[in-house]
Amino acid sequence: MNIKTHIGRLRIAALIEGITCIALYLVAMPLKYGAGIESAVRIPGMIHGVFFIAYLILLLPVFKQQKWSFLTLLLCGIASIVPFMTFWADHIYFKKVIQKERINDFLEE
């Protein structure tokens, strides 16, 4: 993933948002509600929140650059709300953008 491109930054944010969601559901929340450790969700929750917002913000330049339909933008935005769906959005939408860019680069050479 190339951090220098809009899609690269979006893919990184989607990956981290998804991983922190898993950490919250499988580690932090069981510690909070099962073991009574109230602070278990503080740091993973904050990291997840930051990347949730970053994902939504980084989605906009890709939407504009790729000339996606509003429905595609909406589906990718909803992906940040439904647990683990950012992995789906990456697989269905974001990887296609990378493939399209590679094809265009190849054809330009």
Residue-wise burial string across 59-84, b where 16 or more C-beta atoms lie within 10 A, e elsewhere:
beebbeebebeeebbebbeebbeeee
Q: What is the pLDDT of residue 105?
A: 78
Q: What is the pLDDT of residue 20?
A: 93
pTM for the structure as a whole: 0.85
DSSP-derived 3-state class of residue 2: coil
pLDDT, block means (10 residues), the chain with 109 residues = 87 94 93 92 92 96 94 95 92 89 81
How many other CB atoms are found less than 10 A from the CB of residue 42?
12
